[in-house]
Amino acid sequence: MPDALRAYVRGIDAMNRAIGRCAMYLLFALIGVLLWSSVSKTFFTPTLWTLETAQFIMVGYYILGGPYAMQMGSNVRMDFFYGDWSPRRKAMADVITIWFLMFYLGVLLYGAISSTAYSLGYFGTEPFSFFADLARAFVTGGPTAASEVMGHMERSPSAWRPYVWPVKVVLCLGVALMILQCTAEFFRDIARLRGEEI
């Protein structure tokens, strides 16, 4: 296996390990928000922000922890046959089936990018050109010019009405990290088939 691929796999593993281990602590933030929700409903006026904040934190916890879970092999599998196979046979099956996952994640990423563009006020069919225009406006004219490119930003239809673009950006980031982890796993499985370990 070329050294560049080894470095790529190790780099992706290190990045997703660091992000995943940080995302683990979002569980404590989630517990804090839900605890405050219970306390405020019992003793004070119920707060409007707790339910959606808990949902947003859960999205971050789940989507940013996914690549780390895949790296650790703790993702859910159908082990009826797979569990009894040899490491080489598992690697052979993974080399084939990872392409189905990558296709699904590619479609999911495109949808997440389109949804993020929509949440920033873009209602067209070319989200990548919107983000290119947004970046160009920000670099050349700063935040004021970038705000002119954006339209009416999407808000949640709840009483609290938070902007939804931050959670959609986290979704895009998490799916992109999962795609990177899938490519690292693919190269790791190719190495296993060749009798090497990365």
pLDDT in tens, 26-61: 999 999 999 999 999 899 888 889 999 999 999 999
Are the CB atoms for 135 and 141 separated by under 8 Å? Answer: no
Is it the case that residue 76 has pLDDT exceeding 80?
A: no
Identify which of 103, 119, 185 has the alpha carbon closest to the alpha carbon of residue 156: 119
Interval 129-160: pLDDT, tens: 999 999 999 999 999 999 999 988 999 998 89
Q: What is the C-alpha to C-alpha distance for residues 62 and 57, in angstroms, rounded to an integer?
A: 9
Say which amino acid occupies 88. Answer: R
- Is the separation of the CB atoms in 160 and 52 below 8 Å? yes
**Angle in degrees, CA 118, 122, 126, rounded to 5:** 95
- pTM flag (> 0.85): yes
Cα–chain center distance at 62: 8
As a whole number, the mean pLDDT across the chain is 93
Q: Are 55 and 165 in contact (CB under 8 A)?
A: no
Averaged pLDDT, 187-191: 94
